[in-house]
Amino acid sequence: MEYIRDYAMYAAVFGMFSFSWFGWAQERPRQEWRLYIGIASALALLICLTGVYLSITNWESASALSDLGSFRDYLITVYIEFFLAGAGAFLLIRKKRSDYVAPWIAFIVGIHFIGLVHVFDDPSLYLLAALLVVVSVIAVFAAPKLQVARSAITGIGSGTVLFGFAILGLVRFLSVS
């Protein structure tokens, strides 16, 4: 079944988190990257707002989350994600390894999409999960070589991946509406 409202929400939610990750990327990137990160942030915000508008104007359309079992599984997955991300960030900060917080969060966010594949009946979320996990691993090793914060690499990579999925949500919305 095609869930038109879910596709609009993909644009809204993935656009918002893309905007957020591009914001986090502003922590110690290379100077010449700043303009592009800012432009990417603005574009992500525009996609987010477009998704919000489409979600509101199609609120009565079908959604995977209308099923109580799917909604329950969604909430459980998100609560576990928040707990693991927060606990890991707390421990990293206490161990004075705060530069690893952004990759840790991206890793957990990526893994959580595996649990959402069956909720939204959307195998493309496996790809999203894999890409975010890859970004988190690359950031750990690439940032020191590039002499930037790990959050800069994580933010640019995660922001780009989520922006792509926000656009995919819009394309899917337009193809079924």
Residue ranges of the domains in the chain?
4-176
Cβ proximity of 175 and 11 under 8 Å? no
In the predicted model, residues of the chain with pLDDT beneath 50 are none
CA distance 61 to 17: 23
CA angle in degrees (0–180, nearest 5) for 64-62-77? 20
Q: How many CA atoms lie within 13 A of 73 on its CB side?
A: 17
Instruction: Give the per-residue pLDDT at 118.
Output: 93
Instruction: Give the per-residue pLDDT at 102.
Output: 98
Instruction: Give the per-residue pLDDT at 62.
Output: 87
Q: How many CB atoms lie within 10 A of CB 174?
A: 12
Instruction: Give the per-residue pLDDT at 177.
Output: 82
Instruction: Give the per-residue pLDDT at 1.
Output: 59
